[in-house]
Amino acid sequence: MDEKIVRPPSPMPRIGDKAPEFRAVTTQGDIHFPNDYRGRWAILFSHPADFTPVCTSEFMTFASREEQYREANCELVGLSVDGLYSHIAWLRTIKEKIEYRGMKDVEVNFPLIEDITMEVAHKYGMIQPGEDSTKAVRAVFFIDPHGIIRTIIYYPLSLGRNFDEIYRVLIALQTADKFSVATPADWNPGDEVIVPPAGSCGVAKDRMENTDEDVHCYDWFFCTKKIGKEEVLDAILKKEEHFH
């Protein structure tokens, strides 16, 4: 009797790690990830299966907003453990037959990875046996232009993702990098940002005495400043810099 081949568990990728490298067949041709995306942000996201309703709603939403992500120098890459021909048939069905929440004739132009062997899904910790041993959970990996994982979000099979939140995370990460700040709870462009903590007693004293008019301190360790929405978006949404 043949012994069952058991795949050894892969270490879960972590924030700050280099994104695990792979080559794959996709609906848009072969890719080498993340190398093909150097200099751009990438969102790698998985879904459980083709021809399923939650996944259909998500792909329609991502495809309808793809240009919004591209303007923020970000490319989308999808994955499931289905085969290439299943992917193609499903995406054609979405375009030709599905109308949902005002979206119709939706064409998915970003690559959808074929991962029948589940090699990529295992590399990225997308297969979680407590949820399902043969389908990928709804994972989202935000990978920066240097190929570093910056944020990871996992959802169970039953829960559709919040795409406003995914976009907000992307813009917040870029804002933190561009302006050397942090973003508080529920931050959106135009809200106050958090300035780095005071690095000395002198700086803390100056802040509490309001010597910097641009900074508002709630206490010595918690200070914010205003960066206007237009300033944030102008610094990030620059097509001519990103795509020339």
DSSP summary character for residue 100: B
Parallel, antiparallel, or unpaired: how do β-strands 138-143 and 41-46 relate? antiparallel
* Cα–Cα distance for residue pair 3/76, rounded to 1 Å: 39
What is the C-alpha end-to-end distance of the chain, expressed in Å?
Answer: 59
The residue annotated as part of the active site, out of 55, 74, 217, 223, is 55
Nearest of 227, 231, 201 to residue 215 by alpha carbon: 227
Torsion, Cα of 60, 63, 69, 74 (10° steps): 120
Contacts of 120 (CB under 8 A, 6+ apart): 22, 24, 79, 113, 126
Residue with tokens 């990996």: 141
Is the Cβ–Cβ distance between 225 and 192 less than 8 Å?
yes
Give me 111's structure tokens: 């690559």
138 assigned ligand-binding residue:
yes
Residue with tokens 């900074």: 215
55 is catalytic: yes
Give me 223's structure tokens: 């200070």
Residue ranges of the binding site: 138
Residue ranges of the binding site for substrate: 138
Residues involved in catalysis: 55
